[in-house]
Amino acid sequence: MWQNFQKRRNFQTVDGKKVGVLALQGDFSLHIKMLNTLGIESKEVKKIEDLKELTHLIIPGGESTTLLNFFQKENWFEPLKDFSRKNKVMGTCAGAILLAEEVENPQQESLKVIPMKIRRNGYGRQVDSFIKKIEKHSFGEKPIEGVFIRAPRIISIKEGVKVLAEINGEPVAVEYKNALALTFHPEVSEEEAVYKYFLRI
Ligand code: GLN
C-alpha cells in the first residue's frame, strides 16, 4: 500500500511531461517543492539511468565545482549533453554555469549547451548576494523577484540566444533551443511563472 503510494508520488506525468531534478548536490529539494506546488511530481535524478524517460530536467544551484566533480567521477558529461540536445533543461545559478559554453573566474569544464560566456561569482562574494525585482522579463506580466546568491554573470551571448530577463541591461535569464539558464534562484522566491514557462503549462 505504502509502496504503491510512493510509486505514484514519485512519478506522475502531466501531459506526458516527465520532470526530473538533478539531485547530486545543491538546493534541488526547493525545486521539487515548487513543482509539487504546481501539481507536478518530479523525479530526483541521482544516477545516470534516472535520466531515462525524462522529458525535462532542472539542474539546480549549489556549487558548480562540486557538481563537476560528480560529473567527472561518473561520466555524466555525455549523457547530460545528449539529454540536453533531445529534451528540455533548465539550469539555475550553478546549473546555468554548467550549461554555458565558456566559464571564467576560473575557467572550468562545462556541458557547453548554451553558447554564452559566464563569469562565476560575477557580483562578488557571499556578502554581495542580493535580491532584485526584475521588471523586464518574458515569464509573464508581473515583476519577479531575482534572488542572486554568489551568482554568476552572463558576460556575452552568441547568435540564437534569446534574453528572457535582464537587470541593468544585463541578461539574467536566457534561452537557447531547448535550454533555459537563470543566474538567480526562482525556487527561493517561489516564482511559479518561471516553472510554467519552462514546462509550458
Ligand atoms: N558561486 C557558485 C558557483 O560558482 C554558484 C552559486 C549558486 O548556485 N547559488 O558554482
Beta bridge mates, 174: 163, 181
Q: Is the confidence at residue 1, as pLDDT, over 90? A: no
Q: Choose the catalytic residue: 93, 101, 137, 191.
A: 93
pLDDT of residue 60: 98
3-state per-residue secondary structure call for 4-22: HHHHHHHCCCECCECEEEE
Q: Choose the catalytic residue: 31, 56, 175, 187.
A: 187
**9-47 pLDDT tens trace:** 455 567 789 999 999 999 999 999 999 999 998 999 999
Specify whether 109 is catalytic: no
C-alpha cell at 87: 529534451
Distance in Å from the first CA to the final CA of the chain = 31
Atom of ligand 1 nearest to the CA of 66: 10
| Ligand 1 neighbour 153 (Cβ under 6 A) | no
Average pLDDT for 161-181: 97
Q: Assign 198 a pLDDT band (cuts: 50, 70, 90).
A: very high
Specify whether 187 is catalytic: yes
pLDDT of residue 128: 87
Mean pLDDT of the chain: 93
Average pLDDT for 152-160: 98
Atom of ligand 1 nearest to the CA of 120: 4
pLDDT of residue 16: 81
Q: Is the confidence at residue 177, as pLDDT, over 50? A: yes
**51-72 pLDDT tens trace:** 998 999 999 999 999 999 999 9
Distance CA 182, CA 95 (A): 8
pLDDT of residue 41: 87
In the DSSP assignment, the letter for residue 84 is H
Q: Is the confidence at residue 6, as pLDDT, over 50? A: no
pLDDT of residue 10: 52
| Ligand 1 neighbour 129 (Cβ under 6 A) | no
Ligand 1 center–CA 158 separation, angstroms: 22
Strands (E) across 33-187 are located at: 43-45, 56-59, 88-92, 100-104, 114-119, 130-134, 144-148, 153-157, 162-167, 170-176, 179-182
pLDDT of residue 11: 59
Q: Assign 127 a pLDDT band (cuts: 50, 70, 90).
A: confident
Report the run of H or E that residue 47 belongs to, with start and end. Answer: none
Average pLDDT for 123-138: 92
pLDDT of residue 2: 40
Ligand 1 center–CA 18 separation, angstroms: 26
Q: Assign 185 a pLDDT band (cuts: 50, 70, 90).
A: very high
Specify whether 185 is catalytic: yes
pLDDT of residue 13: 65
